[in-house]
Structure 1
Amino acid sequence: MSKATFAIIAAVSAGAGAAATAAMYSLRSDTKSETAKSTSTAVVPVPVPTPSPVSVPMSPSQVFPPTGIEVPSTTPVTKALVDPAGLFEYGFPGPISDIATRRALISSFDRRLRNPQWVVEHITPASLAVRDGDRKHSVFLEDEAVPEKFRAKLQDYFRSGYDRGHQVPAADAKWSQAAMDETFYLTNMCPQVGEGFNRDYWAHLEDFCRRLTATYPSVRIVTGPLYLPKRDPADNKWYVRYEVIGNPPSVAVPTHFYKVIFAEDGKAGGQVALGAFVLPNAPIPNDKPLTDFEVPVEAVERASGLEFATKLPPQRRRRLCADTTCAIVVREYAERQKAFGRDGQKRLAAPPRAV
C-alpha cells in the first residue's frame, strides 16, 4: 500500500491518536509469517511420535483437539520429550468468541473486554419500509448465552456516565418487533459517550447508512469497537489506555468505533462500493464532514485484527465516497421540536442540512 494512501488517514483523524495509529499500522510489512497465516491448530499426542510436532486444524465446532491421528508409515520414529497437548485433557483455554445469530444481526462477543468484536447487519429498501417494531416496547437485556462470569451486565452501565450504545441500531430492525427486541442484548452494546456522540453524530452516521438504500438495493454493514494507542507527551511513547466500568470493573470503554460498509448494486457478481469510517468515542461537532473520518479498509483491519472483503476481487470494488456523496444529514432534536407548536400542530421548519 502506497504512502499516499495512508496519508489519507493522517488527514482524517477525528480524535487524538486515531489517524496516527492508522498510519503507524501502515508501516508494518504486508508479508505475514506462517504463524499469522495459520488457523487455530493443536498438537496432539500420537502412539509413535514424530520428530516434528503434528498439527491438526480445529474446526469451529471443536472445543477440544482430536485424541489421535494416523502417522504415515514413512515417518521416522523418535521419542518425544514433551507433550504440551496433554494440557487439553483438563480443558481448552481459548480464546472463544460467542457467536450469536439473531433475526437482524450476527455478533461476535469478546469475553475479555465484555464488548462485541463485530456485529453484522443487512438493510434494504424493503426492510426499512416495514414499521412493525417500536423501541418503546423493547428493554435492554443481558445475554444469557454468554457465561455469567464473562457477561456484560445491566448493573455495569448503571451511573457509569456512558450510554448503552447499539452497534446495530434498533431503527434498522423496525420490520419486526422481535428483531428489534434482539438488538437490545448487551452483546450488541458498547459503552458510548452519550451527548455529542451516541445521541448525535453517531446517530447521524447510522442515518447515513440507511439513506444509502435510496441508491443501493442492498447495504451490508460491520460495526465494532477499537482500542487505539495514543502518544504520551511525557515520554513520547505510545500507550493503549481505556476506561473500564462495572463492579468489579470489567466492561471496557472503547476509544473509537468503526463502520465498514458494503453497498451492493444488487447484481450477481456486481459492483460493491466499500467505505470504512473510524470515529472517536467522544463528542463530535455536527459540522464536522463525514469524509474527515474516512479511512482505508486496511487501516481498520490492522487496528482491529479483523479482515474484511478478502474474497471480493479488486475489479468488483469501488470506493464508496467516490461512488456517492458521503455526508451526514443533521437532524437536531431541538429543531424537530420547533416543527410543532404548543397546540400540537405541525409547522414548517428549516430543512435538515448535509455535512
Structure 2
Amino acid sequence: MSKFTIAVVAGASAAVGAATTAALYGIGSKKESSASTIATTTTTVSNPGATRTTPPPPAPVPLPRNAVPLQPPVDPAGVFQYGFPGPVSDIRNACSLTSSFNRTTRNPHWVAEHITPASLLMTGGDRRHSYFAEDESIPEKFRAKLKDYFRSGYDRGHQVPAADAKWSQEAMDSTFALSNMCPQVGDGFNRDYWAHFEDFCRRLTSFYPSVRIVTGPLYLPKRDPVDGKWRVSYEVVGHPPNVAVPTHFYKVVFAEDGKTGGKVSLGAFVLPNDRIPNDKPLQDFEVPVEAVERASGLEFASLLPPARRKKLCQEVSCSIIVKEYAERQRTPLTPPPAKGIAAQASPIQK
C-alpha cells in the first residue's frame, strides 16, 4: 500500500447504516377487539383516553416557543448507577513501557517506550528467563489468552521489543505480557523486516540521546475488487474467536536532541502485517503523522509545536540493515548508513 493510499485510507470514513425496528401497536386478538367494541358501545366517555378503570392521561403542558424547562424531565446519566459502560483503556505503567489496551480487539491501542544509549548498553535482563503471560490486570473476559495464539499461524508479536528492555530482568519480563502483543505474520515480517525496523530504531540512539517510540496496530479498509467499495476485514484468532489480527502496524518515532525545549525529529511509518522483501526501502512506508492519527483515532504530537519539529528521514538515512538474526541480536548499536547509501543485504535465517 503506497503512502498516498495510506493517507487516503486513513482519512476515509464509512457510513454504517443501522437497521431500524418498527414498533407495532394496536394488534390484538379478535376476542380483545370484540370486547373493546362492546365497552365502547355501552359506555360514553368525554375523554377518549379514559376507561372505567383508568384515569385519562394528563394533558400536555405547552411551553412558550424556544423555552427550556428549568428541570429536565429525564436523567440519561442515571444509567451510571448500574456501572460505567466504557470504553475502558486499561492503562498499564510498567518499568519498560506504558500502554493502552483495546478490550474489543484484545490488542493494545498503543504502546510507548523510551530508549537511550545507556539503556541499550545495560544487560541486566535475559530473554531466556522471560515467559509469555496473560495480563491479569485486564478482566478475564476481555484479555488475550495464551491459547488464542496456539496453532493460530501467527507470532506473538512484541510491540515494545524485548531487545529494547535488556537493562533489567523485570524490564524485559514486562514486555512479555500479552497486552504488549499482537498477532503478527512470522516469516518475512515479525522475524524479518519488522525486526530490522526495530533495529533501525535502536540505531537512532547513535545520533540522538533520547528516542521515544509509540507502536500499535491498525485495521485499515481495503477496496473490494467487485463493487469498488472500501471495507474493513480482519481475521480473529482463538477458540472461540478472541484476538483480532491487525492488517497493519505503525510506529511513531520521536528522536530528541536532549535539550530542554529542543528539536524533535519526528517520523511515522505504517507497515502491512504481511511478508515484506528485505530489499524494500523503509522510506516507502513513511507517512505523515496525521495519516496515522486519522487511521488510529489517536493523537501523538498535538503538544509539539511546529517550530520544534524536524523530519526524521531528512536528518538520518531511514533504511534498514539486513543481517543474520543472531548477529543482529549481538550488535544492536550499529549506526545507520549515511544518507544516500542503500541498505546492506544478506540472507536472513532464524
Q: Under TM normalisation by the shorter chain, which class is it?
A: 0.7 to 0.9
Q: Which residue of 1 aligns with 2:344?
A: 353
Paired residues of 1:117 and 1:224 also in contact (CA < 8 A): yes
What secondary structure does 1:149 align onto?
A: coil
What secondary structure does 1:273 align onto?
A: strand
Q: Which residue of 2 aligns with 1:130?
A: 122
Paired residues of 2:6 and 2:287 also in contact (CA < 8 A): no
Q: Distance in 1 between matches of 2:295 and 2:196?
A: 24
**Match 2:219 to one of 221, 224, 227:** 227
Q: Which residue of 1 aligns with 2:32?
A: none
CA drift of 1:208 comes to 0.2
- Closer/same/farther in 2, CA of residues 88 and 305 from structure 1, 3 Å limit: same
Please show how residues 80-99 of structure 1 align to structure 2 within 5 Å. 80-99=72-91
The AA in structure 2 aligned to 1:223 is T
Aligned residues: 280
Task: Indicate whether 1:23 and 2:8 are aligned.
Answer: yes
Name the stretch that deviates more: 85-94 or 154-163: 85-94
Paired residues of 2:250 and 2:292 also in contact (CA < 8 A): yes
Q: Which residue of 2 aligns with 1:327?
A: 319
Q: Which residue of 2 aligns with 1:195?
A: 187
Q: Distance in 2 between matches of 1:261 and 1:354?
A: 24
Q: Distance in 2 between matches of 1:276 and 1:79?
A: 50
Paired residues of 1:113 and 1:251 also in contact (CA < 8 A): yes
Q: Distance in 1 between matches of 2:325 and 2:68?
A: 74
**Match 1:114 to one of 106, 113, 127:** 106
The AA in structure 2 aligned to 1:20 is T
- Closer/same/farther in 2, CA of residues 226 and 187 from structure 1, 3 Å limit: same
Please show how residues 233-248 of structure 1 align to structure 2 within 5 Å. 233-248=225-240
- Closer/same/farther in 2, CA of residues 286 and 274 from structure 1, 3 Å limit: same
Q: Distance in 1 between matches of 2:113 and 2:299?
A: 16
Q: Which residue of 2 aligns with 1:3?
A: none
Q: Distance in 2 between matches of 1:134 and 1:24?
A: 40
Paired residues of 1:21 and 1:230 also in contact (CA < 8 A): no
The AA in structure 1 aligned to 2:132 is F
Task: Indicate whether 1:274 and 2:274 are aligned.
Answer: no
RMSD value, Cα:
2.0
The AA in structure 2 aligned to 1:88 is F
Q: What is the CA deviation profile of residues 313-354 of structure 1, one whole-angstrom value per residue up to 9, with x for unaligned ones?
A: 101000000011101000134988xxxxxxxxxxxxxxx816
Q: Is the radius of gyration larger for structure 1 or structure 2?
A: 2
Q: Distance in 1 between matches of 2:184 and 2:2?
A: 24
Q: Which residue of 1 aligns with 2:305?
A: 313
Paired residues of 1:170 and 1:184 also in contact (CA < 8 A): yes
Q: Which residue of 2 aligns with 1:64?
A: none
What secondary structure does 1:329 align onto?
A: coil
Q: Distance in 2 between matches of 1:335 and 1:169?
A: 17
State TM-score, norm by structure 2: 0.77
CA drift of 1:171 comes to 0.2
The AA in structure 2 aligned to 1:325 is S
Paired residues of 1:21 and 1:229 also in contact (CA < 8 A): no
Q: Distance in 2 between matches of 1:223 and 1:135?
A: 21
Q: Distance in 1 between matches of 2:164 and 2:99?
A: 15
CA drift of 1:153 comes to 0.2
Q: Distance in 2 between matches of 1:178 and 1:274?
A: 29
Q: Which residue of 1 aligns with 2:26?
A: none
CA drift of 1:79 comes to 3.5
CA drift of 1:121 comes to 0.2
Q: What is the CA deviation profile of residues 36-58 of structure 1, one whole-angstrom value per residue up to 9, with x for unaligned ones?
A: xxxxxxxxxxxxxxx9xxxxxxx
Q: Distance in 2 between matches of 1:84 and 1:211?
A: 53
Q: Distance in 2 between matches of 1:225 and 1:131?
A: 29
What secondary structure does 2:287 align onto?
A: coil
Paired residues of 1:140 and 1:185 also in contact (CA < 8 A): yes
What secondary structure does 1:353 align onto?
A: coil
Please show how residues 170-189 of structure 1 align to structure 2 within 5 Å. 170-189=162-181
The AA in structure 1 aligned to 2:189 is F
Q: Distance in 1 between matches of 2:196 and 2:165?
A: 17
State TM-score, norm by structure 1: 0.76
Q: Which residue of 2 aligns with 1:344?
A: none
| Percent identity of paired positions between Structure 1 and Structure 2 | 71
Q: Which residue of 1 aligns with 2:296?
A: 304
Paired residues of 1:327 and 1:354 also in contact (CA < 8 A): no
Q: Distance in 1 between matches of 2:6 and 2:265?
A: 25
Q: Distance in 2 between matches of 1:333 and 1:269?
A: 38
**Match 2:241 to one of 249, 255, 266:** 249
CA drift of 1:24 comes to 4.1
Consecutive unaligned residues in structure 1, runs of 5 or more: 1-9, 13-18, 29-50, 52-74, 337-351
Paired residues of 2:145 and 2:178 also in contact (CA < 8 A): yes
